[in-house]
Structure 1
Amino acid sequence: MQIDLSGKTALVTGATGELGRVMALTLARCGADLALHYNSNAAKAQELLAAIGALGRRAVTVQADITDGNSVAELKRSVSEQLGTVDIVVANAVVQYEWTSVLNQSADDYRSQFESCVMQSVYLAKAFIPEMIAKRGGRFIGINTECAMQNFPNQSAYVAGKRGMDGVYRVLAKEVGEHQITVNQVAPGWTISERDRVNGTERSEDYERGVPLKRRGTDQEIANVVAFLASDLASFITGAYVPVSGGNVMPAI
């Protein structure tokens, strides 16, 4: 048994980010063609495009502001013209900001998280799910976070955005399930990425002490779950929030 995405086309938003790059490459290694969304890092997008091309997969880069509905609609038009129908959407992009307390966090930071977590997902659904409905199948995957269950100090804007996103995904799963479209969320813990490997910051004893597996996860481990949910192996899983955190958070039944 293996993950086979041959003949599928996937869109990854925030594909030039630390986790996005590994997700895109992993989907390509499983056989998918890729639409690589980026906001401002065109050079990294071109580098990723070349890496996926070297794997023998088709790929295109598309710039867009995922917090703007018109920009997402243009992204959809461009991807459709170049690659055809998208089978897999991975909503990974998020606006970065400086975390602080509720009393000190600016209102703009709350807006940015709502727009990049909730509205990005809404815009992507409106753009891509109608074609999935027409062909009776598709995968819609959002990248959430363990923080949505932790609710630690200074996380309020991020948690608010991701918990709002969670509501959209759960409702959407019920709305489009009859069309054999699955809607799921992957919730990484504090993940080791290429930046950590370069900077030598892979270890955090304080964090690891509280994780049942006693380590941080890796970007590849996150991408593996995304690929699984994108595949036919996960055809009867929908509405799920899947922590990939070594047991650091555990949703209750």
Structure 2
Amino acid sequence: MKIDLTGRVAVVTGGSGQLGRVMCRTLAACGADVAVHYHSNATQAAALVEELRALGVRAHAVQADVTDEASVTAMRDDVSATLGEPDIIVNNAVIQYDWKPVLEQPLADFDSQYRSTVLHSVLMARAFVPAMARRSWGRVIAINTEVAMQVAPTQAAYAAGKRGLDGVMRVLTREIGPHGITVNQVAPGWMISEDHPADDSEGQAAYARGVPLRRRGTDQDVANLVAFLASDLAAFISGQYVSVSGGNVMPTI
């Protein structure tokens, strides 16, 4: 079996970021045309688009604020006019900040996490799902995190946003499934990326010792699952929160 996304159009929010770049490359390597969303890094997005086009697919960079409805709608119109109506959306963009205890975390951080995870995914669904429903085929993939299950000290704002995302995605699964659209969440652990390579720090070593596979994964491991869920091979998989953490967290039955 082969993951073949030829003829499909994908939108990756936060596509110019460290995980986003790997997902865009992987989807393009499987044959998908890719819209690379960015918020502020136009240079990185443009460079990635050229890289994807070299793989023989169409690619387009598009700017948007994923927490603003008008901006997301404008992104949809831009992508549809340039690449065609998307079949696959990957909700990856998120606002990052310093983690602090609940009693010390600025209230604005809780709001930003809600807006960049929950509201982001709601706006993406409203913008792109109707066209998927008309074609009776679509893939909605949201990037969650193992933190949603860990709920460790200092993770409150991040966990709150991602657990809210989980609820929205599960409800969406039931609402749009009759239209032939799958909805899934990919939940990475603490991964090795282009911007954050592995080192021998005690924190990273301690984390790896707690993982059943005794190592950290890579952003490519995450992208591989995204490509699978976007494909026809995953046609009957929906409503799932899938951990990519080497067993560090395990969703239970």
TM-score category of the 2 structures, normalised to the smaller one: over 0.9
Question: For 1:156 and 1:196, how far apart are their aligned partners in 2?
Answer: 23
Question: For 2:116 and 2:17, how far apart are their aligned partners in 1?
Answer: 14
Query: Given the two structures, how large is their TM-score scaled by the length of structure 2?
Result: 0.98
Deviation at 1:98, TM superposition (A): 1.1
Match of 1:148 in 2: 148
Alpha-carbon contact 1:13-1:91 (below 8 Å) kept: yes
- Aligned ranges 1:133-144 → 2 under 5 Å: 133-144=133-144
Which consecutive segments of 4 or more residues in structure 1 shift more than 6 A?
none
Quote the sequence identity (%).
59
- Could you tell me which amino acid in structure 2 is paired with residue 227 of structure 1? A
Query: Given the two structures, how large is their TM-score scaled by the length of structure 1?
Result: 0.98
Match of 2:225 in 1: 225
1:78 aligns with 2:89: no
SS at 2:119's partner residue? helix
Deviation at 1:96, TM superposition (A): 1.0
Question: For 2:161 and 2:251, how far apart are their aligned partners in 1?
Answer: 19
1:160 aligns with 2:160: yes
- Could you tell me which amino acid in structure 2 is paired with residue 148 of structure 1? A
Deviation at 1:205, TM superposition (A): 1.2
- Could you tell me which amino acid in structure 2 is paired with residue 83 of structure 1? L
Question: For 2:51 and 2:248, how far apart are their aligned partners in 1?
Answer: 33
Structure 1, unaligned runs of 5 or more: none
Match of 1:112 in 2: 112
Match of 1:239 in 2: 239
Alpha-carbon contact 1:60-1:82 (below 8 Å) kept: yes
Deviation at 1:196, TM superposition (A): 2.5
- Could you tell me which amino acid in structure 2 is paired with residue 112 of structure 1? S
Question: For 2:184 and 2:200, how far apart are their aligned partners in 1?
Answer: 28
- State the number of aligned residues: 251
1:201 to 199, 202, 205: 199
Match of 2:94 in 1: 94
Alpha-carbon contact 1:118-1:164 (below 8 Å) kept: yes
1:213 aligns with 2:213: yes
